Amino acid sequence: MASPLARLVEGLVCPLDYRYGRAEMKRVFSEESRLRYLLQVEAALAHAHAETGALPREAAEALQTVADQEGRVTPARVKEIEAEIRHDLMAVVKAMTEAADEDFPDLLPGKYVHQGATSYDTIDTANALQFRDATDLVAGGLRALRDALLELADAHRHTTMLGRTHGQSAVPITFGLKMAVYASEVGRHLERLAEVRKRIEVGMMSGATGSMAAFKGKGIEVQKAVCDRLGLAPATASTQIVQRDRYIELLSHLANVATSLEKFSTEVRTLQRTEIGEVAEGFDVAKQVGSSTMPHKQNPITSEQVSGLARLARSMLIPSWENAVQWNERDLANSAPERFIHPHMFLLVDHCVWKMVDVFTHLRVRPEKMTENMERAQGLMMAEAVMIALTEQGMGRQDAHEVAREAAMVAIAEDVHYRDALLRSDAIVGLLGEDGVQEAVDPANYVGPVDAIIDQVRAETEGL
């Protein structure tokens, strides 16, 4: 006999079932929700036919009642029918017909279900409803992430730290500027999401090959009525399916979001390295365990998880692009991959967004380590500042670059502070003076208009 634990996890294969993904997004892509979307499309089609006089309004209202009644048409019943007829959408149609005729025996409205439509009229229109709800959740997460980043940007406007390029010390920045750059990027993702929705929230009722012939001259009116009722835009022209360039755009955008999230998480991981130590993920020192064998560890496990799952999300792009290639007016090769791609992409990206919200909300910022690392650089990150100061005193830019570089090479070779190497140069001291040299190597004097940049990012992103 199987143990209670074995019975509990029986059938759970994908980690999204038991480890990753938020309940809110899982509800959108659950079997029950998917069935509800399909039923709402079928009910909207009945209403559209009623508007054109093709069926009684009472029948449309009855079908709407069945669609709205939670648990009336069940996934279990649909599966029973599908096991017999081996057609998933027709199983939904038959289950809805069965329930409608049982509930309204005097009216028998089931005969009107799916009138004039083909399977993907219902499926792709239901996809649009599902995508709309799923993108609402992603947008909410992105706004929360933006807010967390803006809060850090404000709190650390003047927290000076090393900028780094090529893994080496560069000119100084502030941690607030770094966070503002990320917040601006999240803002662009919100803009893109709003733009792509116009091409994703699209329904169709075009029939078997896109000709709308089964609607007897009323196809455009029926399609518009269905879409108006569901809050969607009608597809201007389609084959048997909504063209997958739309889906490619949506999924590519989600992959773009995933890439930004991995970039952010990689920065956290880099700055949490022992030899840098400038930030760290939140850690419950009372109970959290960092390693099974090294008791001292406080690993950036959430950021590492985001880095890994973002790569998985991006890997789904290739089949989504290939799904756009169809034989003639359509084939079925896209169907099975999309059953995986759509829920997995949304669940992974939504999960990663909220994990990064958690990281940045509880991030431990260590200004003292930032100062310590700048001191360890012995002023070398200020070479550009020295060059600019020299040009302001009349030295040519190329000459200023060379004397600043020569002093840097001396400082590196002799392991002395850059300031001391600069003070050995008669050319530099002659123009700047000792006080000018000291001012030029002070990192706080060389962070640019950081307040204006952060304020502009806030102004541009807060309304998105």
Structure pTM? 0.94
> Where a domain ends, among 98, 115, 132?
115
The answer to whether residue 1 sits within a structural domain is no
- Taken as a whole, the chain contains a residue count of 464
The answer to whether residue 11 sits within a structural domain is no
Of 363, 367, 392, 364, nearest to 443 (Cα)? 367
Co-location of 258 and 342 in the same domain: yes
Co-location of 91 and 138 in the same domain: no
The answer to whether residue 159 sits within a structural domain is yes
Co-location of 91 and 180 in the same domain: no
Co-location of 190 and 331 in the same domain: yes
Of 43, 52, 207, 220, nearest to 117 (Cα)? 207
The answer to whether residue 6 sits within a structural domain is no
The answer to whether residue 193 sits within a structural domain is yes
412 lies in which domain range? 380-440
Angstrom distance (rounded) from CA 368 to CA 278: 8
According to DSSP, the residues that pair with 168 across neighbouring strands are 165
Co-location of 326 and 347 in the same domain: yes
Distances (CA, A) of 117 to 41, 128, 153, 163, 364: 11, 17, 53, 60, 57
Label residue 282 left, alpha or beta by phi (over 0 means left) and psi (-120 to 50 means alpha).
Answer: beta
CATH number for the domain spanning 348: value is: 1.20.200.10
Q: What is the pLDDT of residue 350?
A: 98
Q: What is the pLDDT of residue 9?
A: 55
The answer to whether residue 215 sits within a structural domain is yes
> What DSSP designation does 462 have?
T
The answer to whether residue 189 sits within a structural domain is yes
Structure tokens at 401: 């670059």
Co-location of 63 and 188 in the same domain: no
Give yes or no for a contact between 373 and 276, defined as CB atoms under 8 angstroms apart: yes
Angstrom distance (rounded) from CA 226 to CA 387: 67
Phi–psi pair at 394, nearest 5 degrees: 105, -5
Co-location of 256 and 341 in the same domain: yes
Co-location of 356 and 391 in the same domain: no
Burial of residue 409, with CB atoms counted within 10 A of its CB: 0-12 exposed, 13-18 middle, 19 or more buried: exposed
Q: What is the pLDDT along the chain (464 residues), one digit of tens a residue?
A: 556 555 555 678 888 888 999 999 999 999 999 999 999 999 999 999 999 999 999 999 999 999 999 999 999 999 999 999 999 999 999 999 999 999 999 999 999 999 999 999 999 999 999 999 999 999 999 999 999 999 999 999 999 999 999 999 999 999 999 999 999 999 999 999 999 999 999 999 999 999 999 999 999 999 999 999 999 999 999 999 999 999 999 999 999 999 999 999 999 999 999 999 999 999 888 899 998 899 999 999 999 999 999 999 999 999 999 999 999 999 999 999 999 999 999 999 999 999 999 999 999 999 999 999 999 999 999 999 999 999 999 999 999 999 999 999 999 999 999 999 999 999 999 999 999 999 999 999 999 999 999 999 999 999 99
> Where a domain ends, among 115, 131, 155?
115
Co-location of 392 and 326 in the same domain: no
Co-location of 200 and 111 in the same domain: no
Phi–psi pair at 210, nearest 5 degrees: 95, 0
Domain count, the chain: 3
> Where a domain ends, among 66, 81, 115?
115
Angstrom distance (rounded) from CA 121 to CA 367: 58
Active site residues: 166, 291
Co-location of 339 and 315 in the same domain: yes
Give yes or no for a contact between 122 and 39, defined as CB atoms under 8 angstroms apart: no
Co-location of 111 and 130 in the same domain: no
Give yes or no for a contact between 60 and 43, defined as CB atoms under 8 angstroms apart: yes
Distances (CA, A) of 173 to 180, 421, 445, 453: 12, 23, 10, 12
